[in-house]
Structure 1
Amino acid sequence: MAAVRPRGDYGIDAPWVPWMWIGYTVLYAAITIAAATLWDAWWWVVALVGLATIGFAAGAALYWHTSLRGKFVLWDRLLSQTTLSGGSSALDLGCGHGTVAIMTALRFPDTIVTGIDLWRSVDQSGNTITAAQSNATLNGVQDRIHFDTGDMTALPYPDGTFDLVTASLAIHNIRSRDGRHRAVSEAVRVLAPQGRILIADIRRAKEYATDLRAAGLTVTTFPLGWRGWWSGPWMKTTAVTATR
């Protein structure tokens, strides 16, 4: 894992979620113990509640793994399937602590990378521009990464600026369909000729693919496997790749 996870602190995605799963685990464990003590004849109640406890514990463990380990493996795979020529530029939408921006800079040493975010802690714990800059410095790529504060639905960059545009678990945080459409449209607008868009996200992959195809790009979608399960297969990460 050390080979694919950059140095630094990258927070926890939607930090309230794994603590919710842990809370349910503790609650159902207490109910299981109480049921086993008070209802000896109702063994099936104890078994069902016990299974629920195990399920909540497994969900919490999967969530922590995906946030702390799995997403780095997934992005290492996606970036390994990407090529950028010397002097290229890349943009990471909703960059957070700089995970994908830094991984891009490390993999492509001749590429200038920009990350943009609104820096909301509800989306990622400790999410600040200072945290992202600190991680870039720890990995020795601070001279090739610039972080901006801005909205991905109204990007402050000229048309055709970037050879690669990435978005990791970010666009789905926009609640409205129109807002997500604007974010995808902005990604297309700032994409250079022959450029590529890489999105890894939950729930909205078909939506993004529809918008990208409507914009004239060639699109592929595919699931990224158990390392991208946010508590289970019902909340899986899907990749959407698009090229001009």
Structure 2
Amino acid sequence: MGMPGARYGVDAPYGFSFVGLVVVGFWVTGLVMAVTVDLVAALPALLAGTLLAGCLALSLHTSLRGKFLVWRDVLDELDLRGDERLLDLGCGRGAVLVAAARRLPRGRAVGVDLWRGLHQSGNSPAATLRNARAEGVADRVHVHGGDLRRLPYAEASFDLVGSSLTVHTIFGADTRAQAIAEAYRVLRPGGRLLIADLGRTPREYAAVLARLDAQDIRVRSLGWRAWWGSPWVPTRLLTARKPDAP
């Protein structure tokens, strides 16, 4: 997705490669059994391979197209003025960051990441900036290296803080809670938080935000376009707001 020239890579590339190898293994095993034994004996392996191939195809759709469509709708729902400052936690190659920047002609979109290739293929600050240039928003996109648990920004720096499929990669509930608290810290009074993540983790984050007295905390499913292989691995969106200054 995105404009011609922009390249956003694949999420969890090593996971896709591993599942692809398992699919091939099942199919090869099934074909060998069909030839050497009989088709009935081969059916379990062939069916398992086909089922996994379907899951892989659905995950690829989510990674390459579905998440872009979902975030388009999420960002449109915000009804932005166009002059906001937005922070994208774990921005990767800029799928959400650049989409937000297109809606901020007078604002700024800042991305922070550790740039790990394990999480996204070709992950680097240079790749993000190339995508921003390709989509004509380089003048309002800035990227920094940094740990989500210790953000390099002052309190109340951003009108919006977002994240897509990143916080769950931090090991341990306590350290994930630290990242959520940091996201809340840098949010301005009245600012909004949007965190899309896997499975039940958004409800975990909601509990952290409730302890911080955040308002309008909601968790909702992002639908089939954001399923990772099956309905049992959905993406959910947490939204919340920081109270206005007294």
- Under TM normalisation by the shorter chain, which class is it? over 0.9
1:124 aligns with 2:120: yes
Q: Which moved more, 1:209-218 or 1:128-137?
A: 209-218
1:1-244 correspondence runs (5 A):
5-7=2-4, 8-40=6-38, 43=40, 45-203=41-199, 204-217=201-214, 218-244=216-242
Paired letter, 2:98: I
Q: Which moved more, 1:135-144 or 1:229-238?
A: 229-238
Q: Is the 8 A contact 1:6 1:102 kept in 2?
A: no
CA drift of 1:38 comes to 2.3
CA drift of 1:6 comes to 4.3
SS of corresponding position for 2:71: helix
Paired letter, 2:67: K
Deviations 1:133-159 (A, max 9, x none): 111111111111111111111111111
Q: Which moved more, 1:229-238 or 1:87-96?
A: 229-238
Instruction: Tell me, in whole angstroms, the C-alpha distance in 1 between the residues paired with 2:213 and 2:70.
Output: 26
Paired letter, 1:77: D
Structure 2: gaps (5+ residues): none
Structure 1: gaps (5+ residues): none
Taking structure 2 as the reference length, what is the TM-score of the superposition? 0.93
TM-align CA RMSD: 1.4
CA drift of 1:86 comes to 4.4
Instruction: Tell me, in whole angstroms, the C-alpha distance in 2 between the residues paired with 1:226 and 1:20.
Output: 23
Taking structure 1 as the reference length, what is the TM-score of the superposition? 0.94
Instruction: Tell me, in whole angstroms, the C-alpha distance in 1 between the residues paired with 2:187 and 2:63.
Output: 28
SS of corresponding position for 2:80: coil
CA drift of 1:227 comes to 1.2
Instruction: Tell me, in whole angstroms, the C-alpha distance in 2 between the residues paired with 1:56 and 1:142.
Output: 39
CA drift of 1:83 comes to 2.7
Q: Is the 8 A contact 1:155 1:186 kept in 2?
A: yes
Q: Is the 8 A contact 1:162 1:192 kept in 2?
A: yes
Of all paired residues, the percent bearing the same amino acid is 40
SS of corresponding position for 2:87: strand
Q: Is the 8 A contact 1:91 1:114 kept in 2?
A: yes
Aligned length: 239
Instruction: Tell me, in whole angstroms, the C-alpha distance in 2 between the residues paired with 1:171 and 1:212.
Output: 14
CA drift of 1:39 comes to 2.3
